[in-house]
Amino acid sequence: MSHKTDVVIIGAGPVGLFAIFELGLLNLNTHVIDNLDKIGGQCAELYPEKPIYDIPSRSRVNGQELADELMLQAKPFNPVFHLNQQADSIIKLDDYWRVKTSSNETILAKCIVIAAGAGSFVPRKPPLENIKEYENKSIFYSVRNKSIFKNKNILITGGGDSALDWTIDLASIANVTLMHRRREFRAAPDSVSKILDLEKSNKIKFVIGQVSQLKGSNGMLEKVEYKFEEKFSSLEIDYLLPFFGLKMELGPISEWGLNLNENLIKVDTEKFETSVPSIFAIGDINSYPGKLKLILSGFHEAALMAQKCFSYCYPDKKNVFRYTTSSKELHKKLGV
């Protein structure tokens, strides 16, 4: 699928969401790419309930509340989100960048804004020799379409909240086996209780062990071998869902020819542009003298970045600065 817009934002965390607003004030349209399956970035994924105390005008706000309110602020500008995927490659075509995602979507944009925090959240993969052969065919690290698992033999591996939550959810439509290296779990007590009840009533199976080998053909699994205390056994399965948490990586961005320093992107402090014209970096992923890794710093960077993006998107127009309090056009758009 192909799209065309003014600006592509990589990262749907707080700074990326505020960038939608700042760009929207200048009538710049945005598409947003994020590796997670939801909006909010680190705030929503790592500490949704953790209080944040240094957001101006808010004496206290938790991570999820902040993400929700920033999304509400950005909504009038109709951003388009591409979740559960990452920006894999970029190519310059005349005045546009062609951004291709891991889901084979293509976006043409005049500017690219990298607001990826400390990098992309990527799944921790089990160290299995031929795992790539089965990925996105019979091995999935997230669930997008539950219907494909109906009446199938599913193996879920892991002992955290995601593994237990999906075991509980899919138990009603599939033959689910949960595998973990021990019987203790790192999940909410209520989820653990539900798992024990499902096992007791034979609605799921629980196996102690670790997957050691994958067997199948043409990307479709037929069985896995697993190991426990030096003993090997096997399970016939159709799908494997490994849930071992997420890790942070800079990912394909590291190959885009940007000026990097210890996995951070160097920018100027006038417009937060990288060493490549029309590519910007804001938030925790950038580096410059005096940088403070604060959300409010990212907000400031987003505001200045947007001014320069306007000149790339509308080179023949003059950007007349207006305060939001006096912009009738903005008031109309916001329904004020």
Q: What is the mean pLDDT of each run of 10 residues along the chain (336 residues)?
A: 95 96 96 90 76 91 93 96 92 95 95 85 86 94 88 96 93 97 92 96 96 96 94 96 82 86 91 97 95 95 97 91 71 65
The verdict on pTM exceeding 0.75 is no
Helices (H) and strands (E) in the chain, counts: 7, 23
Neighbouring residues of 36: CB distance < 8 A, sequence distance ≥ 6: 12, 44, 45, 83, 84, 121
Alpha carbon distance 74, 14 (integer Å): 11
What residue ranges define each of the domains in the chain, with the CATH number in brackets? Answer: 2-122+247-334 (3.50.50.60), 131-244 (3.50.50.60)
Residue (of 116, 113, 139) closest to 126 by Cα position: 139
- From CA 312, how far away is CA 278, in angstroms rounded? 7
> What are the backbone angles phi and psi of residue 6, rounded to the nearest 5°?
-85, -50
For residue 180, the cross-strand partners are: 208
- Please, are residues 115 and 297 in contact by the beta-carbon 8 Å criterion? no
pLDDT computed for residue 325 by the predictor: 75
Measured over all CA atoms, what is the biggest interatomic distance in the chain, rounded to whole angstroms? 73
Say whether 100 sits in a helix, a strand or coil: strand
Q: Look at residue 224 in the predicted model and tell me its pLDDT.
A: 96
pLDDT reported for residue 279:
97
Which residues make Cβ contacts (< 8 Å) with residue 106, sequence separation at least 6?
Answer: 1, 2, 3, 98, 99, 100
Backbone region of residue 141 per phi and psi (left: phi > 0; alpha: psi in -120 to 50; beta: other values): alpha
Integer Cα distance of 99 and 261 in angstroms: 23
From 316, 305, 315, select the one nearest 25 (Cα to Cα): 305
pLDDT of res. 336: 57
pLDDT of residue 320: 79
- CB atoms near residue 217 (< 10 Å): 8
Counting Cβ atoms within 10 Å, is residue 223 exposed (0-12), middle (13-18) or buried (19+)?
Answer: middle
At 139 the pLDDT is: 96
How far is it, in rounded angstroms, from Cα 143 to Cα 147? 10
Residues 6+ apart with CB under 8 A from 72: none
d(CA 260, CA 254): 8
- The enclosing H or E element of 214 equals strand 210-217
